[in-house]
């Protein structure tokens, strides 16, 4: 479906490809953007379903003590989820991480997002990026290493 949509968009916007531009990189960018949009939408739906199932936890008179403990832990987790202080801390952490990710070059940012935010496997990433699994592994290693450097530097700068 996504490839059909990509071909349709390429046909519809063919006039935007400049005369010296190469078709494949331009088309790949269209396809890549469609894939990211699709994955983002799928992720939002999945997160919404998980949250709804967590909120729908019901107790009954015959629940075991372990079921009760699980329910209580989930309730605490949900309460923490809406605690203003916890929300502020999470938002601050997310902002720090996204700022650091935005400082990565495109190929490293791409593998971080695909792996950690879209939950893609190494093989899925390799297919999507048109490279082998070893390249994905290497990029991910160096991306994580660079992220750590950026976050450590930012943390050090805040303490001074």
Asked if pLDDT for residue 28 goes beyond 70, the answer is yes
67 and 90, same domain (yes or no): no
136 Cβ partners below 8 Å, 6+ apart? 111, 122, 125, 126, 129
96 and 116, same domain (yes or no): yes
Give Dmax (Cα) for the chain.
72
76 and 101, same domain (yes or no): no
The CATH number linked to 159 is 1.10.10.10
d(CA 18, CA 61) in angstroms, rounded, equals 69
Q: Which domain holds residue 96?
A: 85-160
Computed over every residue of the chain, the mean pLDDT equals 75
Region 86-102 average pLDDT: 80
Q: How confident is the model at residue 4 (pLDDT cuts 50, 70, 90)?
A: confident
Number of domains in the chain: 2
Where is average pLDDT lowest: 2-6, 82-86, 101-105, 108-112? 82-86
Q: Specify the higher pLDDT residue, 75 or 120.
A: 120
Asked if pLDDT for residue 76 goes beyond 60, the answer is no
67 and 13, same domain (yes or no): yes
pLDDT of residue 63: 46
Domain-terminating residue out of 32, 61, 82: 82
d(CA 34, CA 32) in angstroms, rounded, equals 5
- Nearest 10 degrees: Cα torsion 96, 100, 101, 104: 170
Q: State if pTM tops 0.75.
A: no
The pLDDT tens digits for 122-150 are 998 998 888 999 999 999 999 999 999 99
Q: How confident is the model at residue 32 (pLDDT cuts 50, 70, 90)?
A: confident
Number of helical H runs and strand E runs in the chain? 7, 0
Query: Helix, strand, or coil here: 94?
Result: helix
104 and 146, same domain (yes or no): yes
Give the residue carrying structure tokens 């531009």: 21
d(CA 73, CA 57) in angstroms, rounded, equals 11
d(CA 109, CA 147) in angstroms, rounded, equals 9
Region 69-77 average pLDDT: 54
Residues of the chain above pLDDT 90, percent: 20
d(CA 56, CA 139) in angstroms, rounded, equals 40
């Amino acid at each position: 479906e996504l490839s059909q949509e990509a071909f349709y968009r390429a046909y519809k916007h063919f006039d935007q490809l400049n005369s010296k531009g190469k078709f494949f990189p331009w088309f790949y960018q269209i396809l890549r953007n469609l894939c990211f949009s699709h994955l983002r939408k799928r992720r939002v739906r999945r997160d919404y379903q998980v949250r709804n199932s967590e909120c729908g936890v019901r107790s009954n008179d015959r629940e075991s003590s372990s079921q009760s403990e699980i329910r209580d832990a989930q309730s605490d987790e949900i309460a923490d989820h809406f605690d203003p202080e916890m929300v502020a801390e999470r938002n601050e952490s997310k902002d720090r991480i996204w700022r650091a990710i935005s400082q990565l070059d495109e190929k490293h940012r791409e593998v971080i997002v695909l792996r950690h935010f879209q939950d893609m496997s190494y093989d899925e990433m390799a297919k999507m990026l048109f490279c082998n699994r070893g390249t994905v592994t290497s990029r991910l290693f160096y991306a994580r290493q660079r992220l750590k450097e950026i976050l450590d530097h930012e943390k050090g700068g805040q303490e001074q």
